[in-house]
Structure 1
Amino acid sequence: MVTAIFFTVFFLICNAGALFLGQPSFGKIPHGARLERIKQSPHYDGKQFVNEEETLFMTGNKSTLAVWREFMFNTKQQTVPDTALPAIKTDLKKLPGDKDWVVWFGHSSYLLNLSGKKILVDPVFYKGSPVSFANKMFKGTDIYKPADMPDIDYLVITHDHWDHLDYETVVELEPRVKKVVTALGVGSHLEYWRYPVEKLLEFDWWESMDLGDGNRVTATPARHFSGRDLNKNKTFWASFIYESPKRTVWIGGDGGYGKHFKQIGEKFRNIDLGIMENGQYNPDWAQIHTMPEYLGKEMTELGAKRYLTVHHSKFCLSKHAYFEPLENAKRAAKESGKPVLMPEIGEVMYLDEPAGIIFNDI
């Protein structure tokens, strides 16, 4: 009798898990022609994508289970603000098309206008996890939705993690997106979500494409990982260089410090704005997110004229205080001697001249 009850419960749990993982929002791992292309990548080992440098998912002495248990149940100080964060609701559709600007929406979501082209990066406007009750947005940071966006020339998805690829957001945006720029394999999710395959531009590191009208995109390395379910690293992750007629912008995506910062800086010596990951770091996963002590070094080696840091101020995905990344950005500005833009969520930062608060010396 006990055995029968055990197997019945086990069967029900397995079925519930299968139904949960079978939701459309989990996407589809690459197969068919897309998988065959992936197999040709020098960064694919036959089973999964790998980083150029050996990279540990967990860097401490704790087990993955112990790390997650500590994150979920141990007391964390000031990881979530008590009150709503300041934010500005800008009418994005009325912003000038003849000026270059960037508007940050919190975490790693932002909209660029470069020589009249609208580039929307990693938009997460509904939820950053598979379930609505986890990974909630901070108060005041949820004021933008897909309907607020103008028509998008290029939707850039750096990788397929939930806090960068929001199913509801991209499905709602699809009719107003001309092209998607993303890393190898990520198009499998988008095609499953009814994006026409002709809209999807998937890149391996260092692959480049002329987009016309003096615009060009190049996929560059990142030290990270991927996966929306139990399948890890079946799709790739990347950063991107976007070159317009007027300026070059580095879209950093997620990842830890590595030799690629110097490589990118040496190959692209005229980066006007570098958009850097800064937040959700921890010593337990020190190689897949940028630790604060490396942020200034990354800025120095990339060599951009100025920086904007993202991946903070919207979600609690680590154990540091919610305001700590902003202090890191100020410190990195002093260490690198590079100015850092510090906008509020929704603030328009015009790139033709200095805008917002810029820290040349702290």
Structure 2
Amino acid sequence: MAKGSVFGGKAQGLRLERMAASRLFREGFFHNTTGVGSGLKPGTTFSTLGEFFRGGTARTPPGLLPTDSPLEAWTRPAETGLRATWLGHSTVLLEVDGLRVLTDPVWGERASPSAFMGPRRFQPMPVTLAQLPPLDAVIVSHDHYDHLDHPTILELARTPVPFFTSLGVGAHLEAWGVPPERITELDWWESAEIGGGRITAAPSQHFSGRGLERNRTLWSSFVVEGPRHKVFFSGDTGLTEEYAEIRQRLGPFDLVMLEVGAWHPSWGDIHLGPENALEALELLGGGLLLPVHWGTFNLALHAWDEPAETLVRLGAERGTRLVMPRAGTAVEPSRVEGVDPWWRTVTRR
């Protein structure tokens, strides 16, 4: 495969040996510990898939969503020590006790290997890559196109930022120009120290792949820990009892970021959706919930704002503490009171 290909690189040598040593790697592939595979549930029908390609509900908003600029806030430290800026989809700039960590950065126009086909973002990022403050780390949870973005990595490769990712994903990063000494690949429960803090990979229930082959690289959730605060980031996942073990081994968490969008009952083993996100939050021990993986790309069958509306409704019934800022709003979660349904200014004008 050509160096720099959008499909990435292939693990070999010492990288492949390390992957093979993982308990999750068997016969050349990674596996979920729960036995869940990477395909759709048996109930998925061709009509369901047809609905995906035909459209259907209002899967994109009628106009641009309101955003804020975080640039001024980023010039000063977080007063509480913990600040989060959701930039869209699963991209969040975390400031944890002085550490700046960027999760699953995607600035590209399409969640696709093609510049002309595939899901196109309906909402631009509120800042450019060049406007980001200096970063201490970039986390890449797994290698799907809406989490590992080729043009974004090409830009970040030109900066000195280190990358922390799941086993095997480093082959893609290295193929795109990230020096190997700036890549740390982690198996579940492994940690790496960074600037007085720690980044730990933890279980998730998902799959991987950028081409025809699946599950040649690992998928993970991540915990970012500073001297005073801990943040959980789900990456992509279905509901799994392993979240209770994460709570026991790594919790409690000051902020929990869980995926709530791009879901369907037929994908329930590999994506959460709002209801299962609340179940996952309970398994993790509760805390402030910042929903991610919504509001940017048309990747599923539901209306674009359904994840937010459903989460607010169910969260109110359960007394869940939600943090749902507009993209670009730098928030210190412990100071947020209530949810402002800003998305309704676009959908119900």
Shared fold (TM-score greater than 0.5)?
Answer: yes
Name the counterpart of 1:181. Answer: 164
Q: How does 1:269-348 map to 2 (within 5 A)?
A: 269-348=251-330
Aligned to 1:43: 24
Q: 2:86 aligns with which of 79, 83, 104?
A: 104
5 Å-filtered alignment, 1:81-230, equals 81-91=61-71, 94-99=74-79, 100-127=82-109, 128-133=111-116, 134-138=118-122, 140-213=123-196, 215-230=197-212
Deviates more, 1:92-101 or 1:162-171: 92-101
Please identify, of 266-275 and 332-341, the stretch whose mean Cα deviation from structure 2 is larger: 332-341
Cα distance in 2 for partners of 1:145, 1:348 equals: 15
SS at match of 2:151: helix
Structure 2: tracts of 5 or more residues without a match = 342-349
Unaligned runs of 5+ in 1: 1-17
What CA distance in whole angstroms lies between the structure 2 residues aligned with 1:336 and 1:177?
44
Aligned length: 336
Q: Secondary structure at the match of 2:29?
A: coil
C-alpha spacing 1:223/1:270, structure 2 compared with 1 (3 Å) = same
TM-score when normalising by structure 1: 0.87
Task: Provide the C-alpha distance between the structure 2 equivalents of 1:268 and 1:167, rounded to a whole number of angstroms.
Answer: 31
Q: Is the CA contact (8 Å cut-off) linking 2:51 and 2:301 kept in structure 1?
A: no
The one of 251, 255, 261 equivalent to 2:237 is 255
Cα deviation for residue 136 of structure 1 reads 1.0
Cα distance per residue 1:327-357 (max 9 Å; x no partner): 2321342354330101001111114533673
RMSD after superposition: 2.2
- Taking structure 1 as reference, are residues 196 and 59 closer, same or farther at Cα in structure 2, changes over 3 Å only? same
Higher helix share: 1
| Contact 2:100 2:135 survives alignment (8 Å) | yes
Q: What's the secondary structure of 2:6's corresponding residue?
A: helix
Cα gap change, 1:292/1:94 in structure 2, threshold over 3 Å: closer, same or farther?
A: closer
Q: In structure 1, what is the equivalent of residue 227 of structure 2?
A: 245
* Distance of 2:334 and 2:265 partners within structure 1: 38
Q: Tell me, what secondary structure is at the counterpart of 1:24?
A: coil
- Helix, strand or coil at the partner of 1:327: helix
Aligned AA for 1:115? D
Higher relative contact order (CA 8 A, sep 6+): 2
The alignment partner of 1:299 has SS state of: helix
Distance 1:297 1:187 in 2: 32
Shift of 1:93: 7.9
2:12 maps to 1:31: yes
Matches of 1:258 and 1:313, distance apart in 2: 24
Alignment TM-score, normalising by the size of structure 2? 0.90
**Are residues 156 and 356 of structure 1, via their aligned partners in 2, closer, same or farther at CA, if it must alter by over 3 Å?**
farther
Q: Secondary structure at the match of 2:157?
A: helix
Please tell me the residue identity of whatever aligns with 1:79: R
Q: Cα deviation per residue 1:288-308 (whole Å; 9 max; x = unaligned)?
A: 101433222111111142110
CA distance in 2, matches of 1:88, 1:98: 17
SS of residue paired to 2:165: strand
In terms of Rg, which structure is larger?
1
SS of residue matched to 2:254: strand
Kept in 1: contact 2:264–2:300 (CA 8 A): yes
**Could you say if the C-alpha distance between residues 291 and 278 of structure 1 is closer, same or farther in structure 2, counting changes exceeding 3 Å?**
closer
Q: Secondary structure at the match of 1:307?
A: strand
The sequence identity of aligned pairs, in percent, is 33
Take 1:165 and 1:355, find their aligned partners in 2: how far apart are those partners?
Answer: 33
